[in-house]
Structure 1
């Protein structure tokens, strides 16, 4: 199994980097994980929010593996429990999708082209999370899903 996480923006603070590194390390026992960061575009320098979102969108699309099943993180996406996420990832694997990409967009969302490329959308609820925290939560939930699917102790 291979998971690609495409994120707009870089992690700056050490604690975010450390948290992501820890879950990426833990996931290494279950799957290959590739985190791809694309530049966060300043709307003031890009000619507005729409132009910035389109530039970020082009970079996101370029960073996605060509054959990946793409899951966009979005508030309006489907909410899943940890068990349901584990079952969904297992189902995708059984159906031959061994390359799954998650997309975490920028602060102004993602372009229509990125939404069109997404095979499904996942929501962590109606709350708004900072993108750094969303990345940590995503990696932890993928790790938890792997543990659940193998019946290993972690998920309580």
Structure 2
């Protein structure tokens, strides 16, 4: 199963980008041994529309258009479900075992995710009720994907 981390907005060079990529590289290395085809970071351009609802609609169209066929969508949103790391790992493992071709985690733009993306999501997750900068959410998501790989592999990275 492929994992794709979709992010609206492009990363600038620097420590944040490097850290997110480091976790993705680690997840790729750990995931191959346990049946994951790879983890990919895809950055989509932010909409230039003037109104927030128009921007969210444009970005939703780009996200949904970029999804591979049969991909399950997980939306990352501050109003989503709080899920412990072990349960997130279990969700990924179950989807892998069920033969899902791909799973996409989506981070919206500055105005959030459009209604079409939220409606298409099988799961909406939150990293907490606080609002975080997109660069930090990207790092947290990449780290949680890596953590999930280590949990599924029985690696001691995650400690209870």
Structures share fold, TM-score greater than 0.5: yes
Unaligned runs of 5+ in 1: none
Match of 1:106 among 106, 109, 115: 109
Q: Residues 6 and 63 of structure 1 are in contact (CA less than 8 Å); yes or no, is this contact kept in structure 2?
A: no
Most deviating of 92-101 and 76-85: 92-101
- How far apart, in 2, do the equivalents of 1:33 and 1:13 lie? 20
The count of aligned residue pairs is 153
Task: Give the superposition deviation at 1:98.
Answer: 3.9
**Which residue does the alignment assign to 2:45?**
39
Over 4 Å off, 4+ runs: none
Aligned partner of 1:74 in structure 2 is 77
1:22 corresponds to which residue?
A: 22
C-alpha displacement of 1:4:
0.6
**Residues in 1 aligned to 2:85 and 2:50: alpha-carbon distance in whole angstroms:** 40
**2:141 counterpart residue number:** 138
Q: Does residue 1:11 correspond to 2:17, yes or no?
A: no
The answer to whether the 8 Å contact 1:6/1:64 transfers is no
Secondary structure (helix, strand or coil) at the match of 2:4 reads: strand
The alignment yields a C-alpha RMSD, in angstroms, of 1.3
> What CA deviation, in whole Å up to 9, does each residue of 1:81-132 have, x standing for no partner?
1111111111222222241100000111111111121111111111111111
In structure 1, what is the Cα distance between the partners aligned to 2:106 and 2:69? 14
CA–CA distance in structure 2, aligned partners of residues 13 and 133 of structure 1: 14
After TM superposition, give the deviation of residue 141 of structure 1 in Å: 0.5
Mapped contact 2:70–2:101 kept (Cα < 8 A) = no
Query: Which segments of 5 or more consecutive residues in structure 2 lack a partner in the other structure?
Result: none
Structure 1 length-normalised TM: 0.92
